[in-house]
Amino acid sequence: ETGVTQTPRHLVMGMTNKKSLKCEQHLGHNAMYWYKQSAKKPLELMFVYSLEERVENNSVPSRFSPECPNSSHLFLHLHTLQPEDSALYLCASSQDSRAGGELFFGEGSRLTVL
């Protein structure tokens, strides 16, 4: 496989469920990101990991919990979500998190919270 792969592509969960989104990059990059894309809102950066260390957390509610066990894998653990959390969650990677790098995006995980 090449590029950035996200699973599952679609997820429906109740507000009391616990689920996880998975992202894997096959590009040898050192930085990985979670973005949230909601209808009629700009792309929101949620978390940044560089060399497996979280370097940025943009005031994301604690019901979203990221995990980066190595430079190739990134998870987003979800629990007690709200309907307004329904969105497309995009994972991205870049060579590193410094200036100028292009982002490589996965196809996203479409989350629906009932």
Partner 1 sequence: AQSVTQPDIHITVSEGASLELRCNYSYGATPYLFWYVQSPGQGLQLLLKYFSGDTLVQGIKGFEAEFKRSQSSFNLRKPSVHWSDAAEYFCAVGRGAGKSTFGDGTTLTVKP
Is 108 a binding residue for partner 1 by CB under 8 A? The answer is: yes
Q: What is the spatial distance between Cα 78 and Cα 65, in angstroms, rounded to a whole number?
A: 7
Interface of this chain with partner 1, residues 12 to 51, rule: CB under 8 A: 31, 33, 40-43, 45, 48
Strands (E), the chain: 4-7, 10-13, 18-25, 31-37, 44-50, 53-57, 64-70, 73-79, 87-94, 104-105, 109-113
The nearest distance, CB 29 to partner 1, in angstroms, is 10
DSSP state letter for 103: P
Is 76 a binding residue for partner 1 by CB under 8 A? The answer is: no
The nearest distance, CB 18 to partner 1, in angstroms, is 25
Chain contacts with partner 1 (rule: CB under 8 A): 4, 6, 31, 33, 40-43, 45, 48, 56, 90, 92, 94-108
